[in-house]
Amino acid sequence: MWVAIIRKHLPPGREIRSVTPLGGRKAVLDACRNDQGQGPPRIYIIDGDFDHVLQRRPPPLKHLHRLGVYSQENLYIRRDSIEGIAAVFRPDEDPTEVGERFEEYLSGVWSPVLRRLFALYACNEKLGGGNVTSSFHIERLREPGRVPPQPSPNKLREQALNVFRDLKRRHGTRAVLNCLSTTRPVAKSLPDASVISGKTYLLPVTRHWIQSEMGVSLPEAQTSLLLIGQCRGALDERLKRKIERALS
């Protein structure tokens, strides 16, 4: 996937055939810390994760790039990519209207409930509970049988209560409420892409929406490649500038 993403940021005439996966965030940061000297062009890339909601600065390391979004999947879950897919698979429909419907679906149906949940998840991460998003997929929070997926108020409430009770047990009510008093307004003010995980939340929902609205049924990896291919221009302008500087 990263090869397709990097290609969207390369100057004309330059090519990339492979990337070197290093593992999780810690492994990438450790490798970057051990590679602060001169040498061939290279960039170490990490997801934003909860850094944006928790207002954490990236480590001051040469060659490091932290995404301005939660995860790499958030880079290509965009209106223009949906419009591009619509132009191919729904040629009789105005792509801009399809893009509007997609934005209204995400922002009106999922965004409000997921922002509140991720403000709580951010507190869990800040207080030492780790990242619970990958272990609790959005499929466990939707109403069964609804197409496109709709959030289940009862399941969302149960998940939020479980996380809150566990945090309260380990850290006390005051510490949890103090943390939420910071993360909630920040999560509300940032774009969805900087707050909500694309990998386990927004991408699965987007994939189901594309299937229900346009009849395009693809596995998740192929859906990602389709979205990347239909994005207009760079996915991350800061990453594009870093790549250009590294290659100059």
Mean pLDDT along residues 21-32: 94
Can you give the pLDDT at residue 18?
85
Mean pLDDT along residues 215-231: 96
Greater pLDDT, 136 or 68 = 68
Can you give the pLDDT at residue 87?
96
Judged against a pLDDT cut of 90, whether residue 194 lies above it is answered with yes
Judged against a pLDDT cut of 90, whether residue 45 lies above it is answered with yes
Phi-psi group of 128: left, alpha or beta (phi > 0 → left; psi -120 to 50 → alpha; rest → beta): left
Phi-psi group of 12: left, alpha or beta (phi > 0 → left; psi -120 to 50 → alpha; rest → beta): beta
Mean pLDDT along residues 222-238: 96
Judged against a pLDDT cut of 70, whether residue 169 lies above it is answered with yes
Whole-model pTM above 0.85?
yes
Judged against a pLDDT cut of 90, whether residue 246 lies above it is answered with no
Interval 136-147: pLDDT, tens: 889 999 999 888
How many angstroms separate the CA atoms of 171 and 74, rounded? 31
Burial class (CB in 10 A: 0-12, 13-18, 19+), 122: buried
183 to 3, 53, 54: CA distances (angstroms): 33, 6, 7
Let me know how long the chain is.
248
pLDDT above 90: percentage of residues in the chain: 88
Judged against a pLDDT cut of 70, whether residue 134 lies above it is answered with no
Give the bridge partners for 65, in sequence order. Answer: 45
Mean pLDDT along residues 112-136: 87
How many angstroms separate the CA atoms of 50 and 126, rounded? 9
The residue type found at 27 is A
135 to 83, 132, 170: CA distances (angstroms): 31, 6, 20
Q: How many CB atoms lie within 10 A of CB 27?
A: 12
Can you give the pLDDT at residue 67?
97
Judged against a pLDDT cut of 80, whether residue 133 lies above it is answered with no
Mean pLDDT along residues 165-169: 93
Can you give the pLDDT at residue 41?
81
* Of the candidate ranges 110-114, 159-163, 236-240, 243-247, the one whose mean pLDDT is the lowest: 243-247
Mean pLDDT score of the chain, rounded to an integer? 94
